[in-house]
Amino acid sequence: MIRRNTKQRQAVLEVIQKNDKHFTADEVYACIHQKDARVSRGTVYRNLQILTEENQIRRIRMPNMSDRYEWNMKDHDHLLCRECGKLIDVGPIRSGADQMVTKMSDYADIHHVFLFSGICPECQKKVAKRK
């Protein structure tokens, strides 16, 4: 199904593409709402889903947190700061892991997600100052 490109969908895509940040849906909504108060939260969520289905952006499912969205569609993994929630790209750590599991299991359409966690340099400094 071919969907027409709406102004709202283009606005959502631009927010994500113009930044290396990994946005939550609410952050995307806040950015768009500042420029156009008529855009609803539902419109932003719906367009994030469409853009994800069309492989124009990637949805990163986060355990016990809001999912994040990014424009980088290349093979890579993520590192999460357990203190501040900052998420950065790393890797790819296990390039070829999907194909290896496909061969081992006879499953199709295999996709892995590696999410590493640690404490970012900024939070390390904050923790050191508190001691």
pLDDT in tens, 58-94: 999 998 999 999 999 998 999 999 999 999 999 888 7
Long-range pairs for 24-32: beta carbons < 8 A, 24 or more residues apart: 24/66, 24/67, 24/68, 24/69, 25/66, 25/67, 25/69, 26/66, 28/69, 32/8
Contact 26, 66 (CB under 8 A): yes
Q: Which residues belong to CATH 3.30.1490.190 in the chain? A: 74-131
Q: Which residues belong to CATH 1.10.10.10 in the chain? A: 1-72
3-31 residue pLDDT tens: 777 899 999 999 999 988 999 999 999 99
Which fold does the domain 74-131 belong to in CATH? Dna Ligase; domain 1 (3.30.1490)
Contact 44, 29 (CB under 8 A): yes
Q: Which CATH architecture has domain 1-72?
A: Orthogonal Bundle (1.10)
The tokens describing 79, both together, are 């590192």
pTM of the model: 0.83
Provide φ and ψ at 82, rounded to 5°: -70, -15
